[in-house]
Structure 1
């Protein structure tokens, strides 16, 4: 092995920061694949910016974005490598993405269920939204950003000039923006509701109390379902709509909720056997899981899988990681600069104090909402 092959020092700082924020031992390794999934060697001839790109899914569009931005590391919440690979070829889109990133010197780290299980992580972020006590309100937008977010550019499914199309309302496809911000932080500062919360599946890591997958919230006083729906909508950036299921014969305005089970992503397996809660809140449930829930008298709120996760990147992880990476980068720079015989190429990298963490503008859930133009 060539002793000169090593990870880029800035990449080491990012990986160290993520591991300290969300320890890998919290991940459920029985099914998950977390950690450093692609380790690009340090090459001074192709040294990237000291920047990190946050995304939920590492799609081709996000890879293009990272390469164009000259990022050093992508932190992809969902692991792009989930099962064993028998080859790396250009025929498979995911493998092609990995090869392109490696060629550009960009590493990939995936935290996934470590973030889900961590105290103050994704589960608690959703719980804070439901209870009206967010752990962190996003910073106010500037006017330019507000205008950008307000202008949603839908994709027409039917061209109006097509002579063979009936002159019915044109339907437009709208995706929840990848960087949806809350224009008024006060929108999230609702009255905090007294409650208890516990993990659905507690972690066995004794030195991290409160860790575990999912959360069960039990309110001291019943909450109106309509109020919880409003909190959820505001907390995830006011999407155009999201699926809700309630028992037949009931009205949203009349339903009160005493308890909620929640988790990001797909909650079906985690919710199994939770018959004593009033509301199931997650990214997605199957048809039969939702049907069984309302037959038991429960309500269901889903957001589409990754829309239950993406807001965490902007509202929580971006600021957390920026602060921690700055700290780790200073430590690594100090350590490396104290060594004898530092090469000119490495010295140039270590003298760069710049650090940036951004959320992908291209990342989005595959599903959007088709809305009649007349209703917009």
Structure 2
């Protein structure tokens, strides 16, 4: 046997501070983090066509030390997120929007899902839920206009519980024995609640008022239709949630002091850090035309801005014909490219999430995320 001699050599260990990993911060369980993100901005604020929430979930348990923020999740951005040891990617735009029939290496969006799962990285997207927030994307975009008051163009309604009543049905019953039969049948239908105690009206009839979900309403109506001799004087009302203050899509902004269109263009370029924007002058308008009312929508604004009375429309992109319609009404249109009207919000979002999550995890911004359209 050969004896070996080991010589110990003193070494110097140098501690280097990394902006990516802050040792003073702790981990968060993914489910707890998602719950907290949903508390920060209810996903019920999102448009019904949108695809929001947790889109890719690694097998549990999964903890998060680093939350990575990006406007768009491209393959280049994914590579950056993996290099920075992200545990969860918050991508403002949902990388999964239409249903996927295959998860292969064929398309770039499929490859994103594969790489996320292979590297145990979750993907979460808030999209239009953040558009509607009082301090969300559209409110951030409005900061570039100067001092103004703003309100949502399409206000959001208070969120509903899935089992909460959407309709009220009221009807009258003549006899006490019929009341017992009706109430017994109603109790067997899920998601029905008696909102008012049964009461007797001037004609000595008992008036019943029920709150129902849409599904339960159909069952109540079906029962009544089969027992027409039991009731009369039926009314069906649709129940609407109240509008939420400062919450909703787009913003209608009224400036404290009107400014020239040329001045407004420079303000917007400075706020968005852009050297150029695209401008469509309204009929009869010039760069000296005064601007007092601005309607804006981050991203693609055609649908939200359509029909809104304003001196200026500000958005990322609009269709050719919608621009022509606006210009024909004397409305100026400024286009900044889609994600240029959104991306700058991420810096504000990082600060807000830091406070909301009580600095428990590292939150970093993508450095490779950018709008795909460039001026050349």
TM-score (norm 1): 0.67
- Equivalent residues in 2 for 1:95-244 (5 A)? 95-130=110-145, 132=146, 192=147, 195-205=148-158, 206=242, 208-237=244-273, 239-244=274-279
Q: For each residue in 1:70-91, what CA deviation from the matched residue of structure 2 results, as whole angstroms up to 9, or x when unmatched?
A: 1000000001111222221111
Distance apart, 1:121 and its partner CA: 0.8
- Equivalent residues in 2 for 1:1-376 (5 A)? 9-28=28-47, 30-42=48-60, 50-130=65-145, 132=146, 192=147, 195-205=148-158, 206=242, 208-237=244-273, 239-247=274-282, 250-252=285-287, 254-274=288-308, 276-314=309-347, 316-326=348-358, 329=360, 355-370=361-376
C-alpha separation between the residues in 2 aligned to 1:99 and 1:282?
A: 34
Distance apart, 1:229 and its partner CA: 1.6
C-alpha separation between the residues in 2 aligned to 1:207 and 1:216?
A: 16
C-alpha separation between the residues in 2 aligned to 1:326 and 1:196?
A: 30
Residues 261 and 286 in structure 2, CA contact (< 8 A), matched pair in contact too: no
Residues 10 and 50 in structure 1, CA contact (< 8 A), matched pair in contact too: no
* SS across alignment from 1:109: strand
Distance apart, 1:13 and its partner CA: 4.0
Residues 13 and 325 in structure 1, CA contact (< 8 A), matched pair in contact too: no
Distance apart, 1:52 and its partner CA: 1.1
Residues 269 and 275 in structure 2, CA contact (< 8 A), matched pair in contact too: no
C-alpha separation between the residues in 1 aligned to 2:323 and 2:349?
A: 30
Residues 40 and 107 in structure 1, CA contact (< 8 A), matched pair in contact too: yes
* Bigger strand fraction: 2
* SS across alignment from 1:75: strand
Residues 55 and 124 in structure 2, CA contact (< 8 A), matched pair in contact too: yes
* SS across alignment from 1:99: helix
Unaligned stretches of 5+ residues in structure 1: 1-7, 133-191, 330-354, 371-376
Distance apart, 1:9 and its partner CA: 4.4
- Cα separation, partners in 2 of 1:226 and 1:312, compared to 1, 3 Å: same
Residues 282 and 327 in structure 2, CA contact (< 8 A), matched pair in contact too: yes
* SS across alignment from 2:246: coil
User: Residue 168 of structure 1 aligns with which residue?
Assistant: none
C-alpha separation between the residues in 2 aligned to 1:308 and 1:233?
A: 10
User: Residue 238 of structure 2 aligns with which residue?
Assistant: none
Residues 260 and 278 in structure 1, CA contact (< 8 A), matched pair in contact too: yes
Residues 17 and 321 in structure 1, CA contact (< 8 A), matched pair in contact too: no
C-alpha separation between the residues in 1 aligned to 2:149 and 2:243?
A: 21
Distance apart, 1:219 and its partner CA: 3.0
C-alpha separation between the residues in 1 aligned to 2:355 and 2:157?
A: 29
* SS across alignment from 2:317: coil
How many residues matched? 267
Unaligned stretches of 5+ residues in structure 2: 1-26, 159-241
Residues 90 and 96 in structure 1, CA contact (< 8 A), matched pair in contact too: yes
**CA-based RMSD:** 2.0
Residues 42 and 105 in structure 1, CA contact (< 8 A), matched pair in contact too: no
Residues 74 and 107 in structure 1, CA contact (< 8 A), matched pair in contact too: yes
